[in-house]
Amino acid sequence: MDYFDPHIHMVSRTTDDYETLAKMGCVGMSEPAFWAGFDRGSVDSFRDYFHQLTDFEPQRAAQYGIQHFTWLCINAKEAENVELSREVIAMIPEFLDRPNVLGIGEIGLNKNTKNESTIFLEHMELAIQYNQQILIHTPHLEDKYQGTRMILDMLTSDSRIDPTRVLVDHVEEHTATEVLNRGFWAGMTLYPITKCTPQRAVDIIEMCGGERLLVNSAGDWGPSKPTAVPDLILEMRRRGHSEDLIRKVVYDNPIEFFSQSENFNFQPRD
Amino acid sequence: MSIPMNSQQVLDREYLEIRGKILEVAASLDRLERATGDVAQDPRMALMHQGLQIALQSNDAHGDSRAKQIQLLFSREYADSWRQDFDL
């Protein structure tokens, strides 16, 4: 089955991974800007990173028939540095008309601090000003519930935000329903220990339904599995779910959400 | 939307997996006990015990699943005054 991985960090993966993903049915992916594993020291580091996301990665993916899209921001962890964050936010518009840029992301919170919240609000302003979609990172582990509620507070208190153009990612059992009930799209990340297993993600699909739900691997430089979406496909099949429902979650839904971006020129396979 | 399998099918499919996970938890707790030192007062121990108790109960009065209850148990509390606290 063709599928779309809506959240994966290919800059930290090898070319062999592109080949493996293509063999497993991946035809498209979106790569949000994220933390490199260390704090970068200048706005020029981010400029180079955005060149990588908008020039190099789409070419690398295309060699394997995968269409690559991206999102730009300074991530929540580095947002603690407000001065640098403001320099990066001011620079982002240089890249918004690149053909694979879908919007602003993954913005969000990490430790739910005042500085992170300040920069989240300034990213929101940028997205509104340039009519961009938003992809949101919610915090890890014990910070997730509090941080997700804070993020929803900020989004819903601004009437200019259209929830149907916002994807709130890394939802789990205690956050998925509220995100969906408030009209946003929700993404589930398949991480072996710290987020959802494929089994628990299918449980959430069964409890919440398949509307506005996406599933991703968030494969990056840490413990993660870039082929996790096919694991979910297999789990759904083993439980007896229909091919229509599986396809909706792993292919139709991401395409429907991303199609709201002007730059989403996805070409399905014949 | 419900799961297409009935409960007998789920049990048949997952029994050995659940058995294995229970053993892993038991062996981890044994390992903690065999190790030198004492972590009985570490708040994470109480959280783990509460989590195990939740797993043995039914869904709560709000209809929240065991998984959701355990997620909330391991979560920091949300305070809706956060914007005033941060002066944002």
- At A35-80, the pLDDT tens digits run 999 999 999 999 999 999 999 999 999 999 999 999 999 999 999 9
pLDDT digits (tens, 9 = 90+) for A176-233: 999 999 999 999 999 978 899 999 999 999 999 999 999 999 999 999 999 999 999 9
pLDDT of residue B58: 84
* Tokens linked to A134: 């938003």
Nearest chain A alpha carbon to B63 = A207
Are B77 and A146 a contacting pair at CB < 8 A?
Answer: yes
How far off is chain B from A99, nearest CA to CA, in Å? 35
- Beta-bridge partners for A142: none
Nearest chain B alpha carbon to A119 = B88
pLDDT of residue B60: 80
| CATH superfamily of domain region A3-258 | Metal-dependent hydrolases (3.20.20.140)
A143 touches chain B (CB under 8 A): yes
A241 band by pLDDT with thresholds 50, 70 and 90:
very high
What are the phi and psi torsion angles at A70 (to 5°)? -150, 165
pLDDT of residue A233: 98
Nearest by CB to residue A153, choosing from B71, B75, B83, is B83
Q: In what order do the strands lie in the sheet with A213-216?
A: A3-5, A26-32, A67-72, A101-108, A133-137, A166-168, A185-189, A213-216
What are the phi and psi torsion angles at A269 (to 5°)? -70, 150
B64 band by pLDDT with thresholds 50, 70 and 90:
very high
pLDDT (average), residues A233-262? 98
Whether the model clears a pTM of 0.90, i.e. scores above it, the answer is: yes
Percent of chain B with pLDDT over 70: 100
B2 touches chain A (CB under 8 A): yes
- The amino acid at residue A192 is P
Nearest by CB to residue B1, choosing from A112, A121, A209, is A209
pLDDT of residue A75: 98
Mapped onto helix, strand or coil, the DSSP state of residue B49 is helix
CB-based contacts of A260, cutoff 8 Å, min separation 6: A133, A164, A165
Percent of chain A with pLDDT over 70: 100
CB-based contacts of A241, cutoff 8 Å, min separation 6: A202, B4
CB-based contacts of A176, cutoff 8 Å, min separation 6: A186, A188, A204, A208, A213
DSSP class of residue B61 equals T
What are the phi and psi torsion angles at A136 (to 5°)? -115, 135
A141 touches chain B (CB under 8 A): yes
Are A114 and B4 a contacting pair at CB < 8 A?
Answer: no
pLDDT digits (tens, 9 = 90+) for A90-100: 999 999 999 99
B84 touches chain A (CB under 8 A): no
Nearest by CB to residue A145, choosing from B4, B67, B78, is B78
Which of A110, A111, A140, A150 should we substitute to test contact with B (largest number of B Cβ atoms within 10 Å)? Answer: A150
How far off is chain B from A55, nearest CA to CA, in Å? 37
Q: What angle do CA A14, A31, A130 make, to 5 degrees?
A: 150
Task: Measure the CA–CA gap between A113 and A30, rounded to whole angstroms.
Answer: 27
Chain A residues whose beta carbon lies within 8 Å of the beta carbon of residue B44:
none
pLDDT digits (tens, 9 = 90+) for A84-120: 999 999 999 999 999 999 999 999 999 999 999 999 9
B68 touches chain A (CB under 8 A): yes
Interface of B with A in 7-26 (CB under 8 A): 13
A141 band by pLDDT with thresholds 50, 70 and 90:
very high
Nearest chain B alpha carbon to A242 = B4
Chain A residues whose beta carbon lies within 8 Å of the beta carbon of residue B67:
173, 200, 203
Residue A247 has pLDDT above 90, yes or no: yes
Are B75 and A146 a contacting pair at CB < 8 A?
Answer: yes
Are B67 and A200 a contacting pair at CB < 8 A?
Answer: yes
Residue B71 has pLDDT above 90, yes or no: yes
B1 band by pLDDT with thresholds 50, 70 and 90:
confident
Domain coordinates in residue numbering, chain A: 3-258
Task: Measure the CA–CA gap between A106 and A83, rounded to whole angstroms.
Answer: 19
